[in-house]
Structure formats: C-alpha cells, structure tokens
Amino acid sequence: MRAMVYRGPYKIRVEEKDIPKIEHPNDAIIRVTTGAICGSDLHLYHGMMPDTRVGTTFGHEFAGVVHQVGSSVQNLIPGDRVMVPFNVYCGSCWFCARGLYSNCHNVNPNATAVGGIYGYSHTCGGYDGGQAEFVRVPFADVGPSRIPDWMDEEDAVLLTDALPTGYFGAQLGDIVEGDTVVVFGAGPVGLFAAKSAWLMGAGRVIVVDHLDYRLEKARSFAHAETFNFAEYDDIVVHLKKQTDYLGADVVIDAVGAEADGNFLQHVTATKFKLQGGSPVALNWAIDSVRKGGTVSVVGAYGPIFSAVKFGDALNKGLTLRMNQCPVKRQWPRLFEHIRNGYLKPNELVTHRIPLEHIAEGYHMFSAKLDNIIKPLIISATA
C-alpha cells in the first residue's frame, strides 16, 4: 500500500508499506478513503514530539471502509463505512468506564502520562496512523462507528478530532448564559470552539490570532469579534479594555505548543526543545481571564514542563481545565447539531490533497500558504 512515512523533522514522503494485518481478534483493518492533516500533526512534522520514530505513518483523523475484521469483532463487517476517533481505547478500564477514553490505561506503555493516539509517536503508543491506504484499528467494537447514511464523509472525518476537540474546549469552560468567551487560535479547533461557545449560551465571543485570513473566517464562520494580536502592544491589556477591565469569563487556549507572540518562548520551545511547548497563548489566557474565571486548554503540549504562569493562576483563583478530547463521548450531541443544521464541519475544509502529494500538503499547512485552514487527504482507494 501507499503511506505517508516520517523521515525526520520537515522530511516526509510517500512510500510502499505492507498492508497491516490483524494482530488480535478484536482488530479491524480499515481501507482509508479520507484523512486529514491536523495542526497537532505539525508538532510531529517539526520534530517537537518526543520518540517520533523514522518510518512512522502519521494521521489521527480518518474515515474509510472496513476491509477485514478479527474473529471477535461483532459490531462491524467488511464493507461498512466508518469513522474512527483519534483515541485508541479499550472501553473497559477504570478511565474508559467513566468516559475518559483519552486517558485509557490499557493501550500505551506510557499510559500513566497519556493514552493512545493513532499516528502520534511512540509516546502515544506507537500506532501507525491513517495517512495511508490502510490502517489497523484495535478494539474495533469500541472506537469506530458506522457513518450515518445522511452524513457527508468530509463531516465525518472532522468528527474524528477537530470538531469534538473544539466543542470539548467550550464544554470545559463551563460557559453560562451571557458569558464573554475569548478563544486564542483561529485554526479549525479554535473556530469550532468559538462556534460551540454560542451553542452553549455565550453572550460574546472573541477570537485572537495573527493571521488575517483566519480571523476573517472566524467572523464569517463563527460570527465572532476578532483581534490580530500583532496589531497591539499588549493583547492582554487590549482584552482587558474590551471587558470593562474585568477580563473574560472563559478563555480557551486552542493554540498549544507552537504559539507565536513571544520570541524567547517560541525559540526555547520550538528550536531548542527546552520546554514542552511555547506557553504564550496559555499565559495570555491566564492573564486575560477575569479573577475566578475558567481557562480551558485543548491546544496540544508535549510531555515535558513549560514555563506557565502558575502563580498568576493561583492568585486569581482560576479554574484550569484541560484534557485530550474523549471524542466518542461528544458524538451524540454533535450528530444532533449537524443533522439540525447548526454545524456544518466541512465549511472549514480549504484543500483536498491526494495522498501522493501529502508532503506538499504538510509544507503548505506548516507555512500557512494559500489561505489554508483545513486540508483533507484523499486516498487513491477512495
């Protein structure tokens, strides 16, 4: 089969690999028809995620057709169209029993730190991902679901990470009616978080980024007020002015490890790997939320420490909430919102790139070329 293969930071290519085999009776093999490049895939591409091994195939957002199932699989049969959440999880451990699928204790040798994620380094279990023609899916009766007949496959792919994670970010904010919500980051997760904030009763939604074309999308897609932080001496002071000097009720960090806005933080995180991510957006979130407010973090950070302003969070009495999204827990409500027309995920899709050209896709996404927001990867087997 053809698959994207990692060869080192900023070096990927498409190569021939063996079609994965059933390794356990609970496995399924999925023929991938549509995948995606996630903003967090860029952390791998840039060499920021520990234990990202040469030869690995990335890709934790994908949908396709069941090709083969193990002898114990009961809920799927070959030919089913399925969507697969990015979490690899067993469905039966202490965490899964409580719906914390992203914290599953049985799918990763590093489970005390993080659960399992497709195509996201050996830190997250070493599973190959879906930027390939085929992928092995463990615990196939637990994670994947059939795509409803009424659902567009592009919407289904965006339900495997970007939309649920954005929705989860708003959910973690415990938004109440009339709240002012600030979202840092106008990528797909931030845009979905902003849109979700309205669905949860926000009275005002503000999106902050430094890319004008993405801020334009925040206005048209999420109906948010927008600010370009590069146009202000201090974006925190500006946000305070915008909120009667109290600060926002809820602030969502949808940026994560590669935040711009502070040269020293950016260099120590992305160039010298001295911390697990540049916490610029997170520190802005802590400083711009009101005392007693809530900061929600769904932007991805690495496993080592970052220089977070924890003292400020303590002294302001903040609630800090964060996790990798337990994707499938969000699906029932999101299915309703899509079916009722409140959400149309594929409105964020800007590029559809053949798997053979995925290296160009990564370059475009990394360099933010051609007004790219969300690139999908189309397999030749589609």
pLDDT at 307 (0 to 100): 86
Which has the higher per-residue pLDDT, 382 or 29?
29
pLDDT at 303 (0 to 100): 76
Which has the higher per-residue pLDDT, 258 or 89?
89
How many Cα atoms within 13 Å fall on the side-chain side of residue 176? 3
Rounded percentage of the chain residues whose pLDDT exceeds 70: 100
Mean pLDDT in residue range 242-263: 91
Question: Is the predicted pLDDT of residue 220 greater than 80, yes or no?
Answer: yes
pLDDT at 143 (0 to 100): 97
Question: Is the predicted pLDDT of residue 88 greater than 80, yes or no?
Answer: yes
Mean pLDDT in residue range 203-209: 98
CB 101 within 8 A of CB 92: no
Rounded alpha-carbon distances, angstroms, from residue 23 to 16, 71, 103, 108, 235:
20, 11, 23, 16, 51
Question: Is the predicted pLDDT of residue 358 greater than 90, yes or no?
Answer: yes
Q: Is 187 left (phi over 0), alpha (psi -120 to 50) or beta?
A: beta
Chain segment 143-176, per-residue pLDDT in tens = 999 999 999 999 999 999 999 999 999 999 999 9
pLDDT grade for 1, boundaries at 50, 70 and 90? very high
| Residue 98 CB neighbours (<10 A) | 11
Mean pLDDT in residue range 322-351: 97
Average pLDDT, the chain: 95
H helix runs in the chain, sequence order:
41-45, 153-158, 162-172, 188-199, 212-222, 235-242, 263-266, 280-288, 310-315, 327-339, 358-367
Question: Is the predicted pLDDT of residue 267 greater than 90, yes or no?
Answer: no
Q: 141-160 b/e with 16+ CB inside 10 Å = b?
A: ebbbbebeeebebbbbbbbb
Chain segment 103-131, per-residue pLDDT in tens = 999 999 999 989 999 999 999 999 999 99
Mean pLDDT in residue range 54-60: 98
| Residue 82 CB neighbours (<10 A) | 21
Rounded (10°) CA dihedral 233, 239, 244, 247: -130
Chain segment 271-322, per-residue pLDDT in tens = 777 777 788 999 999 999 999 999 999 998 877 788 889 999 999 999 999 9
Mean pLDDT in residue range 235-244: 97
